[in-house]
Amino acid sequence: MLQLANSIRDRSAWLRIRETPAAALLLTVVLYMISTNPAFRTADNLAVLAQDAGILGILACGEALVILTSGIDLSVGSSLAMAACSAGALMMNGVPWLLSAIAGLAVGFGAGLFNGFLVTSRRLPPIIVTLATLLLFRGLTNVLTGAAPYNLLPESFKAIGRGYASVTAFLIVALMLWVFLGRSRLGRHLVAVGGNETAARLSGIPVAGVLRRTYATAGLCAGVAGMIMAAANGNAQWTLADGWELDVIAAVVIGGVRLTGGEGSVLGAGLGALIIVVLRNALFLSGIPVEQYGLVTGTVVAIAALTEQWRRTMERRT
């Protein structure tokens, strides 16, 4: 509270909060949409918005952890599809939905663990590892499922994708990870590794263990998002979330998480995801074809990164 009071008194302190630009941008876009487009504030549209925001938000929270360690995970979309299809296959074979969903989460976790293993004990650069697993997981999912969709999912499972369940899950995940980063030992270690890996190692932080857990958590987040996405679509298919890794990374960047690691927050990544989803929705409501959204998201990513760069030079000067 005191900190907040201080920031109100000292105007430049607002600039020092990393999430300010993202929050301001989100507020502007939402206010603009509310005032200009009546279709935006209909209950149906808000429900769609909440559903998308939940899925992208959960992915972005996991990605933020990886990027905070100065790594990157390009495989989240593929891990999501693999987890969703595993759960879908089990459900179609009569396994109770809760058990199948837990198995799906385990697959996501395992995918993340595999990335973490390659990054730590094989000492491979994260971008190469996750590029390979992006191809590998997607390919495996296609081959193992025979490209068949799992679309006869039980109603009780589909319920977890309906209404505001997805955005609630996102808020819970974000809150948990936020507390985890700020309050737990592993969380502090994670940020320390991203800030300066050598320094972290020399101060006795088990770097490899921290990294493995980070990638595994990102995989688990992809699993959670996968369950929600499959439930929301009523269909688990190998093409699920194809190409989403870029939207996820864009969300994290817009949220002010530094790509070289060590600075940023889950909160920012969540805000970034909301911005992307609201922008997509705004473009959709204006009748612009999906393929053209990139012009807006690309520009927003570049502007967000430039703002972040400018903020840092300002900070250095004061």
Partner 1 sequence: MRLRLPAETGVAAVVMLAYLWLAVSFPTFRESAGLAVLLNNAAEIGVIAAGMTLVIATGGIDVSVGSVAGVSAIAFAKLLTSAGWGLPEALLGCLTVGLLCGFINGTLIARFQLPPIVATLAMFAAARAGAYVLSGGESISDLPAPLISFGYGSFLGIPYPVWPAAAALVVCGVLLRRTAFGRELLALGGNREASYLSGRPVRRIEALVYTLNGLLAAVAAIIIVARGATAIPDAGRFSEMTAITAVVMGGTPVSGGKATVLGTALGVLAIGLITNGVRAYGKGDIWVLLMLGLALLLSVEVDRWRSGERRVAA
Say if CB 272 and CB 25 are below 8 A apart.
no
Can you tell me which of 30, 46, 102, 131 binds partner 1, judged by CB under 8 A? 131
Can you tell me which of 7, 17, 305, 311 binds partner 1, judged by CB under 8 A? 305
User: Measured between alpha carbons, how far is 269 from 177 in angstroms, rounded to an integer?
Assistant: 11
Asked if 144 interacts with partner 1 (CB under 8 A), we say no
Stretch that binds partner 1, among 37-45, 102-110, 246-254, 264-272 (CB under 8 A): 246-254
Can you tell me which of 60, 65, 72, 275 binds partner 1, judged by CB under 8 A? 72
Can you tell me which of 289, 316, 317, 318 binds partner 1, judged by CB under 8 A? 289
Can you tell me which of 102, 132, 175, 186 binds partner 1, judged by CB under 8 A? 132
CB of 231 to partner 1, least distance (A): 25
Burial of 37 per CB tally in 10 Å (0-12, 13-18, 19+): middle
Q: From 166, 167, 176, 161, select the one nearest 267 (Cα to Cα).
A: 176
Stretch that binds partner 1, among 10-18, 150-158, 180-188, 296-304 (CB under 8 A): 296-304
Asked if 135 interacts with partner 1 (CB under 8 A), we say yes
CB of 137 to partner 1, least distance (A): 8
User: Measured between alpha carbons, how far is 178 from 195 in angstroms, rounded to an integer?
Assistant: 18
# binding residues, partner 1 (CB under 8 A):
49
Say if CB 30 and CB 279 are below 8 A apart.
no
CA 12 to centroid of chain Cα atoms: 30
Which of 129, 228 has the CB closer to partner 1? 129
Q: What sign does the CA torsion over 234, 240, 252, 101 have? A: positive
Asked if 83 interacts with partner 1 (CB under 8 A), we say no
Asked if 260 interacts with partner 1 (CB under 8 A), we say yes
User: Measured between alpha carbons, how far is 116 from 122 in angstroms, rounded to an integer?
Assistant: 9
